[in-house]
Structure 1
Amino acid sequence: MTLDKALPRDHAATVEFQGLRREFGSTVALDGLDLTVRPGELLALLGPSGCGKTTALRMLAGFEHPDSGEVLVDGEDVTRVPAHRRDAGMVFQSYSLFPHLSALDNVAFGLRMRKVRTAERRARAVELLDLVGLGDKTGRFPHQLSGGQQQRVALARALALRPRVLLLDEPLSALDAKVRLTLREEIRRLQQELGITTLFVTHDQEEALSMADRVAVMRAGRLEQCAAPAELYGRPATPFVAEFVGTMNRLPGRHTSGVVEVLGQRLPVDGDAPAAAEVDVLVRPEAVQVAADGEGDARVVATAFLGATVRLTVRLADGTEVRADLRAHEAAGLTAGAGVRVSLPQRPVLVAERTC
């Protein structure tokens, strides 16, 4: 089977959300969302529960309609187009397979509804099951398949109608960790090979960063930042993004005219700073520098072996605890109780309002 036969590459579409607003009673689910999904990219919508990411996905699918704003696919306004005419394939968190149908018949179901001839729909179903690694499971029923295999069937079914857009609504959350890791790699490989525009909703930052071309972080119905994973992690646009994506330390500092004093150092501020003088400095654990110092007033209170790195928890003289990720050989001898000196690289830092 060829990939072009399964799903032509010219199906890659541009998706645009323009000023989407949706209220459910007193709750604002989307508050003026503007976002573009580029042709052929996998864009992850990431955020805490209630941030509006699933509402946005459902609006693209046609299951929800905005109070205001538009949804465009290749420049065409589909805001009020019924779901069955959206030309979108969707994979849900629950597999939603028909228990009385075989894997092949589940994949072929949508084709049957569209009156595709029996021979053609069976051939396409076989091709797609082979594409997702289940060519030898065509006759199995859902109860005879593992959770990961059922989700592969659901993915093949979503692709059977050759949609312009693929929508994934937390499709891996019901699977165990090992299966999630394998399946997310397979989904990403398949998406790249097919070149299909994909919107992927998740609350799992590791999934988003490892799978997506770009990640859109949402909060309270608004877009906080949309960027490639490396930029999102390394240069977060807001304190919320900084703390939601990855692990972040908050260190007390004092801000004056674009410079912050922290750990006895003076560092430039990256971006905007709160008006207050007393601020928190946001620093990744891997950016924290720790050196042995028997006379230092900071102490290691815990260590955790993470493979290539060791995470130290260090208590400063004022009681603040700092997490630092060091390479294993750098952490040698830095056991609980050891005196240390903590510092930061001479580069701009992100600051936020003091939390306490």
Structure 2
Amino acid sequence: MTDLMNDLETTSHTRTGATVELRGLHRSFGTATALDGLDLTVEPGELVALLGPSGCGKTTALRTVAGFERPDSGQVLVDGEDITGVPAHRRDVGMVFQSYSLFPHLTAIDNVAFGLRMSGVGKAARRARAAELLELVGLPQYAGRFPHQLSGGQQQRIALARALALRPRVLLLDEPLSALDAQVRLTLREEIRRLQRQLGITTFFVTHDQEEALSMADRVAVMSAGRLEQCAPPAELYERPASAFVAEFVGVMSRIPARAGANDGTVDVFGRTLPVDGRLPGAAEGAGGTGEVDVLVRPEAVDVTADRTGTSRIVGAAFLGGTTRLTVRLADGGEVMADVPTHAMTTLSVGATVTLTLPDRPVLVDRHSRGSGGDGG
């Protein structure tokens, strides 16, 4: 019996993940640049989400790892081995697509076993492995059903089982949940994360959904224009963004026009002088010597107080359960998002005038955006 067949017949699901390195990847399509010197290392057993706006290059990066795209320059290495020129079918990589891509004429168990059959694994061994995987994804009772007899979530589980059948060193997930409804997405993302941890497989997860990325990933790689803006654990990404792009792309962020202090590392905002967290490029740089900057602030950091003499006004409120997100219009016409406890809405109704304050801690500051308006409070 081959080594592959021996491996498939083991009872353990655990396999040490591989290290994947993307080094200086460049890829262009005509005049459009998809990857512009992308560098990223994913550690063994790690799940890294590739997140960014449409056209940022995240899917091209995934397809380059899979072998479906060949970079114009740069390297893809797995455990130190350069696989840039290796055909897709020889890369020991499993991939799950957004559209399931199951064979409609095959049953669930035969779909799972398809790759094993193509690899020459005997019928008994591949059926046993496929049955094992159906058990792993919670669908052993659907082994004999065809794809059209399964729900979208069930089909995606079958696709995941098929991708895992050959025990790949790397798993690639290309927006696998985007075609599913909200409740199924929530359930399946938890199951994918559980399986990924159980198997210890190195995983790339492409998504446009920030909540998915932040809830599932060990690290989130935020991309823009084919380059990596920041790769960090979710909490660090949210609380300590490395650029204004990351700060505004991940979560909700308001820009509050303010005035930088006289080279003293402070900024005047909402009538208070606060220290500047100077990590962002352009922090505390005035526009044309005027000292105008934008303070970047999360909704949960804005304190809202009902004030009949206040110069700001609540113009919108969105119920989010225990919190309500307010849209507050400043005196200059700019708007700020603020999260408040829902029980506080007895005094903070739409139309009420309010005063806004920020906590006494360093604030993120970026170059002033002319579209933001002037000072407000």
TM bucket by the smaller chain?
over 0.9
Give the alignment partner of residue 265 of structure 1, picking from 247, 272, 275. Answer: 272
**In the alignment, structure 1 residue 227 sits paired with structure 2 residue 232:** yes
In 2, Cα distance between equivalents of 1:301 and 1:153 = 47
Amino acid corresponding to residue 77 of structure 1 in structure 2: D
Q: Name the TM-score, length of structure 2 as normaliser.
A: 0.91
In 1, Cα distance between equivalents of 2:9 and 2:343 = 47
Secondary structure, counterpart of 2:346 in structure 1: coil
Which ranges in structure 2 are unaligned for 5 or more consecutive residues? 1-7, 372-377
Secondary structure, counterpart of 1:172 in structure 2: coil
Which ranges in structure 1 are unaligned for 5 or more consecutive residues? none
Q: Is the 8 A contact 2:252 2:299 kept in 1?
A: yes
**In the alignment, structure 1 residue 297 sits paired with structure 2 residue 311:** yes
Alignment of 1:85-124 (within 5 A): 85-124=90-129
In 1, Cα distance between equivalents of 2:94 and 2:162 = 8
Aligned to 1:5: 11
Q: In the TM superposition, what is the alpha-carbon distance from 1:278 to its structure 2 partner?
A: 1.8
Q: Is the 8 A contact 1:6 1:124 kept in 2?
A: no
Give the alignment partner of residue 251 of structure 1, picking from 251, 256, 262. Answer: 256
Cα deviations by residue, 1:153-212 (Å, 9 ceiling, x for unpaired): 000000000000000001111111111111111101111111111000011111100110
Give the alignment partner of residue 195 of structure 1, picking from 200, 204, 227. Answer: 200
Q: In the TM superposition, what is the alpha-carbon distance from 1:352 to its structure 2 partner?
A: 2.2
Aligned to 1:46: 51
Alignment of 1:230-241 (within 5 A): 230-241=235-246
Q: Is the 8 A contact 1:3 1:194 kept in 2?
A: no
Percent of counterpart pairs with the same letter? 73
Q: In the TM superposition, what is the alpha-carbon distance from 1:25 to its structure 2 partner?
A: 1.3
Amino acid corresponding to residue 222 of structure 1 in structure 2: R
Q: Is the 8 A contact 1:7 1:159 kept in 2?
A: no
Aligned to 2:5: none
Question: Compared with structure 1, are the counterparts of its residues 122 and 352 closer, same or farther at alpha carbon in structure 2 (3 Å cutoff)?
Answer: same
Q: In the TM superposition, what is the alpha-carbon distance from 1:322 to its structure 2 partner?
A: 1.4
Structure 1 stretch displaced more, 40-49 or 302-311: 302-311
Cα deviations by residue, 1:55-74 (Å, 9 ceiling, x for unpaired): 11111111111111111101
Alignment of 1:1-356 (within 5 A): 5=11, 7-10=13-16, 12-256=17-261, 257=263, 258-270=265-277, 271=279, 272=281, 273=283, 274-276=285-287, 277-355=291-369, 356=371
Residue correspondences, number:
354
Amino acid corresponding to residue 132 of structure 1 in structure 2: V
Secondary structure, counterpart of 1:335 in structure 2: coil
Q: In the TM superposition, what is the alpha-carbon distance from 1:302 to its structure 2 partner?
A: 2.3
Q: Is the 8 A contact 1:16 1:72 kept in 2?
A: yes
Q: In the TM superposition, what is the alpha-carbon distance from 1:248 to its structure 2 partner?
A: 0.9
What root-mean-square deviation, in Å, do the aligned CA atoms of Structure 1 and Structure 2 show?
A: 1.6
